[in-house]
Structure 1
């Protein structure tokens, strides 16, 4: 298993998206901080994945297509659009993937590649937020539309065990 950090949206949304994928063993939800200019923690997840089942480029593509990767907004410090890497090879792949994916978007991608520094896990009652109770209003109004988009764009990457649930969205 490898791991990558991803941030840009509410970590409840990001957690649900990546928990729904083939090749993802687990997702840790919380706050990630980096080095340099971006030291403040931001909502994010750490995705533990099997690169034989899903590669880093695909994970980054899913990440960019399931959050506002081109939008600057007032909450950007809390929801930094980033790929947090654990080694130089991941940083290289991340930067190239973002460059390659720019053609999919009309506006410039603002997602940045940063070295992972620290992680703080969210409180237990917030973990697995969506899948514990998808009937909550936040889940229905915010998370479910993102999962619908995931299913329409990346159907082949969605875990079959999760597809039945997603089909009903």
Structure 2
């Protein structure tokens, strides 16, 4: 098993995307990348903590390769947009990959290079060492499945899930 900690805008979106993928064993949304201990949703959304909304996704590499998991990450959001995804604006929404070791750092750098071949604008995804991962509040865990008809889910999450489903059909549940 391998775990990646990824920030792709609102954590509800990337969590929903990865929950559709075979081989994913767990998803936990949370916060990392900042200096504040025990952050919560409201403090992170203030932009004052330095934290990013992230998903810690654990997967079985014998079912889905690590490079495919990372390509899904780059497909699921706009990695050319600095500190925003659509109407979600702020440093907590930055495109980011947080590595646990040098092997992951290398995987992340290679995935970013692949993404740069796909996107017309420069990819601004940051690659940083993983600090403390703070688990988000329970109401944010698996938010999309619990609230599929919420306006944000219908307008923002659905298109991202659909895009990945179309491009990675062979890896769907």
TM-score range, shorter chain: 0.7 to 0.9
CA contact (8 A) 2:27 2:55 kept: yes
The equivalent residue for 2:152 is 138
Deviation at 1:90, TM superposition (A): 0.7
Structure 1 runs of 4+ aligned residues shifted over 3 Å read: none
The equivalent residue for 1:18 is 18
The equivalent residue for 1:97 is 111
Residue pairs, 1:100-115, within 5 angstroms: 100-115=114-129
CA distance in 1, matches of 2:51, 2:82: 18
Residue pairs, 1:46-57, within 5 angstroms: 46-57=56-67
- Gaps of at least 5 residues in structure 1 are 160-169
The equivalent residue for 2:97 is 83
CA distance in 2, matches of 1:5, 1:92: 14
1:119-155 deviation digits (Å, cap 9, x = unpaired): 1111112211001131111111111111111111111
Cα distance change, pair 73–3 in 1 and its aligned pair in 2 (3 A): closer
Deviation at 1:55, TM superposition (A): 1.7
Q: TM-score, normalised by structure 2?
A: 0.84
CA distance in 1, matches of 2:112, 2:83: 20
Cα distance change, pair 45–13 in 1 and its aligned pair in 2 (3 A): same
Q: Secondary structure at the match of 1:78?
A: helix
The alignment yields a C-alpha RMSD, in angstroms, of 1.7
- Gaps of at least 5 residues in structure 2 are 36-48
CA contact (8 A) 2:70 2:108 kept: yes
The equivalent residue for 2:40 is none
CA contact (8 A) 1:34 1:114 kept: no
Q: Secondary structure at the match of 1:114?
A: strand
Deviation at 1:34, TM superposition (A): 6.3
The equivalent residue for 1:7 is 7
The equivalent residue for 2:33 is 33
Q: TM-score, normalised by structure 1?
A: 0.86
